[in-house]
Copies of this chain bind each other. A is one copy, B any other.
Amino acid sequence: MTPVIDALQYANWSEKIFRQMRAGGVDAVHVTITYHENFRETVLNIEAWNRWFERHPDLIFQGFTAEDIDRARQTGRTAIFFGAQNPSCIEDDIGLVEVLHRLGLRFMQLTYNNQSLLASGCYEAEDTGLTRMGREVVAEMNRVGLVVDMSHSAERSTLSAIEHSSRPIAITHANPAEWHPARRNKSDAVLCALAESGGMLGFSIYPHHLKGGGGCTLQEFCDMVARTAETYGLAHLGIGSDLCQDQPDSVVEWMRTGRWTKAVDFGEGSADAPGFPPMPDWFGGNQDFSNIAKGLRASGFSEEDTAALMGGNWARFFRDSFGPATALVRQVAE
């Protein structure tokens, strides 16, 4: 049976949520473990996850390879794969790429919304593309099997990462800008280059990325998925819900401002609505993944295509992405 995989969540983790993952039949989740934290702080976050794994071995375990998706399914648990939404965790030290990969990091965004040492975020006025260090780090990520994620990056930087990376990259959580022109959603040029290079897009259900926000209906969402599949090919698509379940608004503030400003930055929010936006009624948490599958079937997707969108495509991508680069991959890159 095809697994169900969510390619991005950052919830306020609890036993309740882990049980909802089981209720929703979610076999694997890419979870954000760090935003603006430096290496040592990121390791503290890993330690916190180690305590979750130790406390709830019947519900979750850490995933390192695609085989862990099968193991999750076979043992009725959810495999948790780590990711970083910003490269703060590698500081200015390329050697930390391999160290964090060893600790289980499987995705890393080259930027959050701002300029990083590696590339430009989608809120910057100037878009540098990959920096000198950015090019080196992408090559190192390719070598060890750490996926480049450009969800929060600017246009030129994203195209540059796709071009420079010797392995397919991911945009784990965003939607087509053509459908809803939010700054975080992606242009046709980016989605074309992503699909052509074998990359993956995870559809976001974060209300700011949805046409109509939290009022977006399941049918509207699934029709958008259908049009995207027609344009870019279904094999490159999956879910990356961007679910921030049970998080207090202080967390969205941390995501947006970290330690880079003393002022307030509302990001995708506004002074009137600075907090997390309310979720659509058809997706309130991990227990609701079957709603998405039902919606896709109702939109005309076959059972097979629905399974591919719900996790089969991500499973293939995980399998091809998390191991060391093979000689073949290196050859293509040269």
Contact = CB atoms under 8 A, between A and B. Distances in A.
Nearest to A143: B54
Contacts of A102: 102-104
Given A39-B43, A40-B39, A43-B39, A99 B95 contact: no
Interface string A40-52: 1001101100110
Taken together, the copies of this chain in the complex come to: 2
Contacts of A43: 39, 96, 99
A254 to B, nearest CB: 21
Contact of A47 (B44, B46, B95, B103): B95
A161 B104 CA distance: 31
From DSSP, what is the main secondary structure of chain A's interface residues? helix
A93 B47 CA distance: 10
Contacts of A288: none
A305 interface: no
A250 to B, nearest CB: 24
A96 B99 CA distance: 14
Contacts of A103: 99, 102-103
A98 interface: yes
Contacts of A96: 43, 47
Contacts of A40: 39-40
A133 B43 CA distance: 20
A309 to B, nearest CB: 33
Interface in A56-109: 93, 95-96, 98-99, 102-104
Interface string A103-119: 11000000000000000
Contacts of A51: 95
Contact of A46 (B44, B46, B99): B99
A98 B39 contact: no
A84 B50 CA distance: 22
Contacts of A47: 93, 95-96, 98-99
A98 B50 CA distance: 8
Nearest to A44: B95
Contacts of A46: 99
22 contacts: A39-B40, A39-B43, A40-B40, A43-B96, A43-B99, A44-B93, A44-B95, A46-B99, A47-B93, A47-B95, A47-B96, A47-B98, A47-B99, A50-B95, A50-B98, A50-B99, A51-B95, A99-B103, A102-B102, A102-B103, A102-B104, A103-B103
Given A44-B93, A47-B99, A99-B103, 4 more contacts: A39-B43, A40-B40, A50-B95, A102-B102
Interface of A: 39-40, 43-44, 46-47, 50-51, 93, 95-96, 98-99, 102-104
Ranked nearest first, the 5 interchain pairs of A and B with the lowest CB-CB distance are A47-B95, A50-B98, A102-B103, A43-B99, A40-B40
